[in-house]
A and B are shown apart, each in its own frame.
Chain A
Amino acid sequence: MFLQNRGRTFLKSFFMVVFLLLGIMTSPLLAVEPKEILSLSLEAQFQLDFEGIKKMQIYIEEEPYTVIAKLIYQKPDFSYIRYLAPSRVKGKIILDDGKLRIDYVPGIDKFRIFPSLNSPEVRKRKKQSLNLIFDNYTISQSPDEYICDRPVYVILLTPKYAGDPWLKIWIDKGTYLSLKQERYASEEKLITSSTFTEVYFGIRSFREELYSTIPPRLWEGKKLPSRRIICSLEQLREEITFPLSLPRYLPLGYGFQGAIFFKEGRRVDLIYTNGLKTIVFSQNPKINVRMRDYHEMSFKGKRGRLQASIGAWNLVWTEKGRTFILIADISKEELTKIAESIE
């Protein structure tokens, strides 16, 4: 009798210890890794129906600009952005249905069609570029917070290389949708901050209505611009008939992502990325590029025109019957180094 009691208490405590150990061992397995959270957030918008108002603050030369837009996502690959403020951009619409991306500004006939950014190819490319981010950034997690009354993970990306931006992302726990993002030039200097101020899950808008906000006559019968992204330089060399100019120097963390070849114009755009930012180097036959507010810049015996615009440097120069355009969001020194290294 006495022995049986001892046996029972022993068994109880034994099982308690086992459960405790199991709990300790599996809880890290249950907790989601920051890298995993980031990876899931890339696909989040394609897995749900969602509407929200996004408020964006862009700091250009210390001046904050507030932009407000309404965003609508519908699975599997539909997105719609309508800008509400400031008046300069109010009414601008971007509609992407997985095949085409239409960028429309009413009234001024500003209208462009691009290949969709919601297509499987682009999504795959973004996932690949995430690996670059993992290489160039240290990922860490801060304590959970709330955005729009929803619990969110807070992930911090710290750059390994000087000159790259810091990124802080707030990701909804339930859906992995990114609800807020802040980008810093240095530890204290904010470049952009964008957050949802209202969110609704579910379908509230009908696609046909959204399509009708763009005059159908504009996209009627328009052909999707066909472009191919060539992913290897060797393949590119095979296709083009003129000598290819390449930069020999790239800032740390940047790699060749792809090239777009425009046969008719004998133009090639080379795209380099570090996961978060891109450098575009475009080479064309001799053309007259119109620019405003530029400075003359000399590098390695060449004369170019330099302009700061859209948060990046734009450098244009002509040499030996070819015109080159380099656009990058990097320091002027790095830009000069790249330009000087082009052969």
Chain B
Amino acid sequence: MDCKKVRKKLSSYLDNEVNLDQKSKIKEHLKKCKACSYQLKQLRQIQSLVQKIPSQKPEPGFYERLSSRLSEKEMSLKERLFGWGYSWRLFPRIAIAASIVLILSVSLLYIWRSSSISGVNIEVFQKEYIYYSNEMSSFAEESVLPVLLEIK
């Protein structure tokens, strides 16, 4: 894959929304190409910064305010009959497309599984070890153990 193609797909790669073939090709390219890896790093930084934006919450009593508005509003018959709905008009087409996707993905998954039983990260076992430690020992540091993996 060349830089131009990879850069187009970096965003999907970041979201893990590329197929396995593309993923491995992109990975291969990133190993060799500093410029593209740098761009990916920038995207990751941006993502991380956005994640840190504190989440906003409504003032307490949200449901109470809502339910008083509910009792006020009388649903007119007109609204009920002709109100804009959210029914999936494309439903039949989506159903067919979805079943094709399902069949494809199940078979892909089967192929992927049989080829990737060969590759497992040690972290899987480490996470189990941490869980077992928490489970089996009396004074296991319940809040310390889960972060050990992040701190290296």
A69 touching B143 in the complex, CB below 8 Å, given contacts A276-B138, A287-B120? yes
Interface residue SS majority, chain A: strand
Would you mind naming 12 contact pairs between A and B with Cβ atoms under 8 Å apart? A65-B151, A81-B143, A91-B52, A114-B131, A192-B144, A194-B143, A278-B133, A285-B117, A287-B120, A289-B121, A310-B130, A312-B129
Would B135 and A276 count as touching, CB distance under 8 A?
no
In the assembled complex, the Cα of A209 lies from the Cα of B58 at a distance in Å of: 11
Would B122 and A307 count as touching, CB distance under 8 A?
yes
A230 contacts partner chain B, Cβ-Cβ < 8 Å:
no
Min CB distance A59 to B, Å, is 11
Would A58 and B144 count as touching, CB distance under 8 A?
yes
Would A107 and B51 count as touching, CB distance under 8 A?
yes
Which of A9-17, A125-133, A238-246, A330-338 participates in binding chain B? Answer: A125-133
Q: Across the two chains, which residue of chain A brings its CB closest to B47?
A: A107
Using CB atoms and an 8 Å cutoff, list the residues of chain A in contact with chain B: 38, 42, 54, 56, 58, 60, 65, 67, 69, 71, 79, 81, 83, 87-92, 94, 103, 106-107, 109, 112, 114, 117, 122, 125-127, 129-130, 133, 167, 169, 178, 181, 183, 192, 194, 209, 213, 257-258, 269, 271, 273, 275-278, 280, 282, 285, 287-291, 307, 309-312, 314, 316, 325, 327
Would A58 and B148 count as touching, CB distance under 8 A?
yes
In the assembled complex, the Cα of A67 lies from the Cα of B144 at a distance in Å of: 8
In the assembled complex, the Cα of A291 lies from the Cα of B138 at a distance in Å of: 30
Q: Chain B: how many interface residues by the 8 Å CB criterion?
A: 41
Would B147 and A327 count as touching, CB distance under 8 A?
no
Interface contacts beyond A38-B138, A92-B147, A273-B137: sample of 14 additional A-B pairs, CB < 8 Å, sorted by A: A81-B146, A83-B147, A92-B146, A103-B146, A126-B138, A167-B139, A181-B139, A258-B136, A269-B128, A271-B136, A276-B139, A287-B118, A288-B118, A310-B149
A56 touching B16 in the complex, CB below 8 Å, given contacts A271-B132, A314-B125? no
Q: Across the two chains, which residue of chain B brings its CB closest to A307?
A: B122
Using CB atoms and an 8 Å cutoff, list the residues of chain B in contact with chain A: 16, 47-48, 50-52, 55, 57, 117-122, 125-144, 146-152
Would B137 and A88 count as touching, CB distance under 8 A?
no
Would A290 and B119 count as touching, CB distance under 8 A?
yes
For A87, the chain B residues whose CB sits under 8 A away are 52
In the assembled complex, the Cα of A79 lies from the Cα of B121 at a distance in Å of: 29
Choose from B137, B141, B147 the contact partner of A126 (Cβ within 8 Å): B137
For B133, the chain A residues whose CB sits under 8 A away are 277-278
